[in-house]
Amino acid sequence: MNKREISNRSPTEGNANVWTEIEDSPELPKKRKSNDGDGHDKLRPKRPLTGYNRFFKEERIRWKEEQSSSGMPEEKKQTFLTMGREISARWVRLPREQKKKYIAEYDKEMLQYRIDVEKYNREKEEKAAADAVAKKEQSAQKLKKNGAQLKAPTDSLVPGPSSLGSFDTNALLQPQMMENNSIAHALSNSGSSATQFALNQLHQQRQFEILLRQRLLDRQMQLESSLLSLRSLAGGSAVRTQENPSHILSATQMDSLIFPGANAAAPYSGLLSSTGNVQTQLQNHPRGGLIRTNFPYATLPEPSSSVAVGNVSNRSYEQLLLSLMLQQRNHRPSNNS
């Protein structure tokens, strides 16, 4: 406890011997912490002096004047503790009416102090909120800059569509990739803590889409190879069975039938159409003669007049031809037949 703390203590009749106890104490207590929050904040309004502190401040000046006018040598002057004890005794003897002056000044300044503290806290909170928004925007810009540097894998290593291709893998994957790009753009501007993780997830999803496109193109090339074999088979049969042209098609006719509008990409769902439905549609079509001639072991269902031939999609017909080729290959006729 230092001199200032001793002076801040308002003595009463019940603690008049507090100064004697302090003088006799071999070790002074530690300094009391301030209740005003951050004691290092110099901008915070200062708490006003209490009524006793105001009286002590005035009496200290008067005490020094009394010591100077007494002519007492410097080494024999009374100590600060003695001064504090004397001033506290004067405060105890001071009439109540005279004390009201100091207490009223304290109450008036205390009211203004509370207003200033409330204003200070409000401005401090507003400044903290503005700093948080600025920091969030700065983090979002930094994250957006880093996200732009995460380039998606290029498609240079993925083979482009073949001249014979009928799959439109770009039409299949482009909507999903555009949606992912929109999500990535939204995440880069969100500034959430999980944004980087979400961007990494989208990056991995883009890589998966590229691999899926590669698989689709591989499947397309296998299908084209099978169709080339089918066209060759159709051309050979046309040479051997010229006498019965109603049941066979030439290679040129085959091209025009398999791809009746190669530039118009049919939906991907066409590849998953019902094979039986397509077989029914082809029953009375010239293609049916080609199928019967080149795939004698394949079975076609009964014709159905309720289904129009024009509804046959290119991909469904290709799937049907591949299915029939597999039936032909897997059929093992016995030696007695």
pLDDT in tens, 221-240: 777 776 666 656 555 443 33
Instruction: Give the range of the structural domain holding residue 285, as residue numbers without chain letter.
Output: 223-330
In a domain, 216, yes or no: no
| CA 97 to the chain's CA centroid | 68
The verdict on pTM exceeding 0.75 is: no
Name the band, by pLDDT with cuts 50, 70 and 90, for residue 42: confident
pLDDT value at residue 181: 58
In a domain, 60, yes or no: yes
pLDDT value at residue 249: 37
Mean pLDDT, residues 71-76: 62
pLDDT value at residue 39: 55
Asked whether residue 270 carries a pLDDT value surpassing 70, the answer given is: no
C-alpha closest to that of 3 among 53, 69, 58: 53
Name the band, by pLDDT with cuts 50, 70 and 90, for residue 284: very low
Contact 11, 91 (CB under 8 A): yes
Contact 86, 63 (CB under 8 A): yes
- Per-residue tokens: 136: 């969030």
In a domain, 150, yes or no: no
In a domain, 41, yes or no: yes
In a domain, 180, yes or no: no
In a domain, 31, yes or no: yes
- Per-residue tokens: 181: 């790009």
Total length of the chain: 337
**More confident position, 254 or 199:** 199
- How far is the C-alpha of 17 from the C-alpha of 88, rounded, in Å? 11
Give the chain's domain count: 2
End-to-end CA distance of the chain: 119
Give the residue from 120, 137, 155 where a domain finishes.
120
In a domain, 54, yes or no: yes
In a domain, 188, yes or no: no
